[in-house]
Chains A and B, each alone.
Chain A
């Protein structure tokens, strides 16, 4: 089951896998804020490098990751190209300077600032992608619930998240069953034989019984949870959330430091007059 979904249901064995859900969720949130806040490659690149090291240390199954990476890179290059076409001036606005490198047909021209801006943007997105992949690969849904709870998300919401993951494989199985019986009754699903639109319509036909049979289950799950005292207390503990290890304590120092940097940087950004968003080394 673990190979079919990118999300793991059982914790892996590397150092990052073994962190507590709390550490994983907090690190993810703080790193994401950190990456969003600045356009300064001096701040971003260390995270990129750490991300690459992190992902290698997890010894993941590379096949789906390579695929996603290629997808993200291609989509982003295209996105950057559109940015450029829409406004070739975009980088210069951030820098208050303009270094024209080449004139292009029409209104287009290439400036050092725009090029640098697009490059920075690309690295930012790549780094966010790396951080997200590490997070997804390292965490199990139960740890995710425990981690969310640790950042003061109400535990009922955490349970919803956890139950959703619990049900995915069941829904996949039901879908296959329904699709089998539909095919036997004559619904053609072979992509070679029917158009994409018709297939889509047939998918909708499968979803009706799928929803109905899922609703049947909801009542049962709710009863099972009630009967075991769910919602009795204001707080709940998590079996999947093990005690902090040494690594957790080290990472706690790391994320607290980064959080402080974030606060300082954002404060500086808001208070310093004439602050330039983009760090441009060639000005």
Chain B
């Protein structure tokens, strides 16, 4: 059967009006009807620009120069209009909150139809149909504020799926979702595209999570060019991922550690259907038997003790009877769904909220007598979005702010600000305006401004959210250094299980306001009840362990030890 091309790039390049160099170079790419394609690449590789060319935001909203040709369903985009293209291409943007323009689910799904000036009587059955398709049919009356990130995303999908939309573009669909929701989203995208024969383009850098359902092709982009256009299996066998700063799936890392021969392994990208070759199985078994130094964190003295703490917000309990102890020098992950209570615990620890009952002790001293300001010298809180923390114009002023507010003498302010800036590798940039630096650097500024107070404990809310692998590694290495070199206790609030496995010693898991697990990360991630209650998902290491018939818990522990050994050896 002859395949029909829906998207055809021919010698296509694009340069933003404000940039001196093209963002996309010589793109030649054809995508056929019904294909499911993953577009992979680090930040700044041009993958979002590529998708914006397809949906018409380029050149209609964002101006620039186009060379070459791009046809969508036979239509040359620069001669079409964004409205014509929106009939063919549906786009689900990354920020599921900002794209929710309606005041209820039904209204948001209807938005495109409203713009068509369709009578309401025709709109209603269509909205219902689209909502049913994504499983939101029962929620039409709901307000955006009552929905989870995953639900908002489903609504966004329902809102663009009307009529004869042929191509669906998903811009980083997993960025704001917890692991379980991410799995559900990948499954939904797969089902809708296969059932209705729509073409799907998924832009993501979280390769492993997307591969939960098969994709037909992977396009790897770097610096505005396509560097690979291949089957997922081929890509995983190659070294391209490492070369271009894409994180490879965990099970693949494990297989590489074990010295498996990937060339002969079939279904490498589809773990569910992968059958290990006898040889590879043997490799993994041998790997598991290897002796490695079991890493056992040495517990320091307790710094924060949370004792039977309950917290309620407007008479609704959000945390119930929480007990946990945080010890000096620990790296802890707070894990759980949105609204499960992890942020609330962080706020309680910072003293912004106070427990309704129970007690928090700071080095044995009762918290209730301390003000937020006093606690702030001991515990630093770094928000997810640095733009919500930065208030000054110049970097050094930002770092000095907290010290000056406490009325320290000029010498101490200078000295401590210098130290904090040096720790964050920002000292040479200290007089730069805050607005001129990158997102990752802003993150560092917020951390420096908190470090200036010399706290013992730092709480970081989703420190790596929205970062590609290279920036992720940068931030994580920096945090690890704060821990290992300066002895800071680090508490990470995160959805990212990779992050938790590789970089924390202990996981504290919340579900519906209760602390349901407090243990070493590998134990938590091998416990089925915890996984389902906290909306986590089993890691691919778990699946791999089951394949070779060993205990997943021990296998993950073994893997972590190898990782640490590997890092120490570097």
Chain A positions within 8 Å of B, measured between CB atoms, are: 1, 9-10, 140-142, 162-163, 165-166, 169-170, 174, 177-178, 180-188, 190, 205-206, 208-210, 212-213, 216-217, 220-233, 235-243
Which residue of chain B has the shortest Cβ distance to A240 in the bound complex?
A: B107
Which residue of chain B has the shortest Cβ distance to A180 in the bound complex?
A: B352
Cβ-based interface call for B390 (8 A): yes
Q: Are A226 and B115 in contact (CB under 8 A)?
A: no
Q: Are B55 and A227 in contact (CB under 8 A)?
A: yes
CB distance from A134 to the nearest CB of B (A): 20
Contact residue among A169, A186, A225, A243 (Cβ-Cβ distance under 8 Å from B405): A186
CA distance A141 to B102 in the complex (A): 10
As a 0/1 sequence over residues 380 to 415 of chain B, the CB contacts with chain A under 8 angstroms (1 = contact) are 110101011111000000000110011000000000
Query: Which of B91, B95, B103, B116 has the most C-beta atoms of chain A within 10 angstroms of its own C-beta?
Result: B103
CA distance A65 to B141 in the complex (A): 26
- Say whether, besides A166-B101, A227-B82, A233 and B115 are in contact (CB < 8 Å): yes
- Say whether, besides A223-B57, A229-B86, A229-B112, A141 and B103 are in contact (CB < 8 Å): yes
- Say whether, besides A186-B405, A228-B160, A241-B120, A209 and B390 are in contact (CB < 8 Å): yes
Chain A residue contacts of B98, Cβ below 8 A: 217, 220-221, 224
Using A166-B102, A184-B376 as known contacts, list a sample of 4 further A-B pairs with CB atoms less than 8 Å apart, ordered by residue number in A. A183-B372, A209-B388, A236-B114, A236-B115
Q: Are A186 and B402 in contact (CB under 8 A)?
A: yes
CA distance A186 to B115 in the complex (A): 48
Q: Are B405 and A233 in contact (CB under 8 A)?
A: no
Could you name 14 residue pairs across A and B whose Cβ atoms are closer than 8 Å? A9-B104, A141-B103, A142-B103, A162-B103, A166-B103, A166-B144, A180-B381, A182-B391, A187-B405, A188-B405, A209-B387, A213-B385, A229-B82, A229-B116
Query: Which of B141, B387, B406 has the most C-beta atoms of chain A within 10 angstroms of its own C-beta?
Result: B387
Contact residue among B95, B103, B107, B143 (Cβ-Cβ distance under 8 Å from A220): B95
Number of interface residues of B (CB under 8 A): 71
In the complex, number of A-B residue pairs with CB atoms less than 8 Å apart: 178
- Say whether, besides A181-B381, A185-B449, A239-B113, A142 and B104 are in contact (CB < 8 Å): yes
CB distance from A12 to the nearest CB of B (A): 12
Q: Are B372 and A184 in contact (CB under 8 A)?
A: yes
CA distance A169 to B147 in the complex (A): 13
CA distance A97 to B124 in the complex (A): 63
CB distance from A147 to the nearest CB of B (A): 14
Cβ-based interface call for B252 (8 A): no
CA distance A212 to B390 in the complex (A): 10
Q: Are B117 and A237 in contact (CB under 8 A)?
A: yes
Q: Are B372 and A9 in contact (CB under 8 A)?
A: no
CA distance A141 to B103 in the complex (A): 8
Which residue of chain B has the shortest Cβ distance to A223 in the bound complex?
A: B57
CA distance A178 to B102 in the complex (A): 26
Chain A residue contacts of B106, Cβ below 8 A: 239
Q: Are B450 and A185 in contact (CB under 8 A)?
A: yes
Chain A residue contacts of B401, Cβ below 8 A: 185-186
Which residue of chain A has the shortest Cβ distance to B119 in the bound complex?
A: A237
Which residue of chain A has the shortest Cβ distance to B52 in the bound complex?
A: A223
Chain A residue contacts of B121, Cβ below 8 A: 243
CA distance A115 to B115 in the complex (A): 55
CA distance A260 to B463 in the complex (A): 64
Chain B residue contacts of A236, Cβ below 8 A: 114-117
Q: Are A185 and B402 in contact (CB under 8 A)?
A: yes
Q: Are B376 and A228 in contact (CB under 8 A)?
A: no
Interface residues of B in 351-377 (CB under 8 A from A): 351-352, 371-373, 375-376
Cβ-based interface call for B61 (8 A): yes
